[in-house]
Structure 1
Amino acid sequence: MQKFNSTGTHGNTLPRDAELQLRLADSAGAGDGKENGRGKHFLSQPEEESSFCTKRRMLVCLDLICLFVASIPFFACELKAVTPYKRGFFCGDTSITYPYVPSEAIPDSLLIAGGIAITGLTIALGECYRVRFRGVYSQAFVRNCYVSCLYKELGSFLFGCCVGQSLTNMAKLSVGRLRPNFLSVCNITYASINCTPGSYVSQDYCKQPNGKMVEEARKSFFSGHASFAMYTMLYLAFYLQARLSWRGARLLRPLVQFLLVMIAVYTGLSRISEYRHHPTDVLTGFIQGGLTAYWVAFYISSMFKPCARPDLSPTSMSLESPLSSQQTVC
């Protein structure tokens, strides 16, 4: 009788233990996967990774949309969708009587190509060096660290270019200040229009058949050359301050930064000597370009943001490959 009870007890408890173990196994495996109707288990980590990548792609699309919106005023001006404001002048004003100089020391093509090429190439080389030799690791959805780092830095730089040039073109179109060579471009003099000195002339006496030259003569404020040159060169100087950490020569980095700023200053001053802009136009361009470079470098770009060392704990690991103690997450 005692043996029967013992056997009966074991007969009742064994199925319960097996059922409990199955429930514990199901609850433990809930974090690793889920079961469909056919009894097959699928891991949830790939799904989480896919959701993570989808969100990141949406953010990249949002960045591209923001870049496009910021460049709308620039392209509206370049495509002649908006004409500049037709401002008059005071008869006898000597600030708009300078001769027209057809040649330019730094034309638009050289300015844009040089500014973007010098700064963009330097940033690209610097980021590739950091990834290759400094162990910089990105937590972006892009697996390639080179692509993710270049996307962050070059994207911020190009966004600043669009913002700066959009502000410049908007000011040129809305203000419509006459260039110093306006009368020479229009092929007129104060004597030819028979105006009274000191009187305001609002009537258009311009005799220049080339309408493009007349429109350009009405876009003096403020200097696009000065603003773009100052933005690109000063932004590169900020980048060197954040990335160039070699202490072998103390004066090398300040010298390079000084040369970059000097190039920007020379670009703006050449516009004054060629009678393309007034001194106040160039000064305003320097200020606008410098403020834009400071804003993008310190508040948009990640160059001055500290990078953390991973502690190799499970809570600090991303969906990508594990990091070594020598790598830095940015």
Structure 2
Amino acid sequence: MIDNKGRKAYVTLLTNERYLAGLLLLDHTMKVVGTRHPLVVLTTASFPERHLNLLKTLGIECRVVGLLEPKGEVKLIAERFRDTWSKLQAFALEDYERVVLLDCDMTLFENIDHLLDDEDILPGSDWIAASHVCACNPLDEDWYLPDCKPENCSFTYAESQPNFAPPPAALLSTKRTWGLLNSGLVVLSPSKALHDRIVHHLHTSPTVATMALPDQDLLGEVFEGRWTPLPWRMNALKTFRWVHPKLWFVEREGGARVEGRERNQLQGVGHGIAVLHYIVEKPWLEVLPADSRDAETHRWWWADWRQMLAAWLEDANLHKHVASVEKLVVKGSQD
């Protein structure tokens, strides 16, 4: 039996070069906020071996995993989601007592080690913790179900609660949309039993073929009734800035609004964004029009990226990687 007591880690999946820039900035911001636990990257055979030395230099452990896929044909809303089943291989990391599974299109503004250290976050070893789905359908996607609208969104509920508390676990079954989780950040206790249960569901459930968001919908089914909600700021979608401004902004005297990332400095840790999730367009792959509703949050990504590269230039071991890393991002920046 593996002795995993006390071993904890952050885990993310990286299957191709297109997302490497996102992973690098995730790692950088984790270090900036003083994360104490290691970052483990799950890679597949499709990830270019030439980048592994850079990850090793950064102190990132890489583990090669096999692709996790359903048995039959599936209808995906975007081809980029095809690899995401494989992130669920994190449930097989039995040498860790607890894991926080992150998407690599995230950045941290606050230390979130309490998600790994607080024993009370998970009611049981076969539970997970995650934030809710935003059910507002702000981009009017046709794959959302008809009940996905602002009045049924868990974050609309949170806007009316003290400290913006999400619908508690006891209420999740009372409204379909409240029972939906976002898999961008998941707290879990790895075990072979849980991993086997997930794989069995993936390979046998008839609902898998029609899942719009592969790993997210699968986790929602496997852990129905066994997941506990995390606050909005643990997985703050960039769209919250204009979809849920009551969560994002705080008003100061005189009516000035303070951004979510600045609230930790103004109000103290625990009020503003902890983890920002760059859903849909990725800052390093696409420069948005200046009047885009998401341009501001993309500017933050680029500002942090430039700070990271400046730090690398001062590091003898990382200096040589700057030129190759700059090729991973789109020309220009969100200024």
Pick the TM interval, shorter chain: under 0.3
TM-score of the pair, normalised by structure 2 = 0.22
Higher helix share: 1
Q: Which has the larger radius of gyration?
A: 1
TM-score of the pair, normalised by structure 1 = 0.22
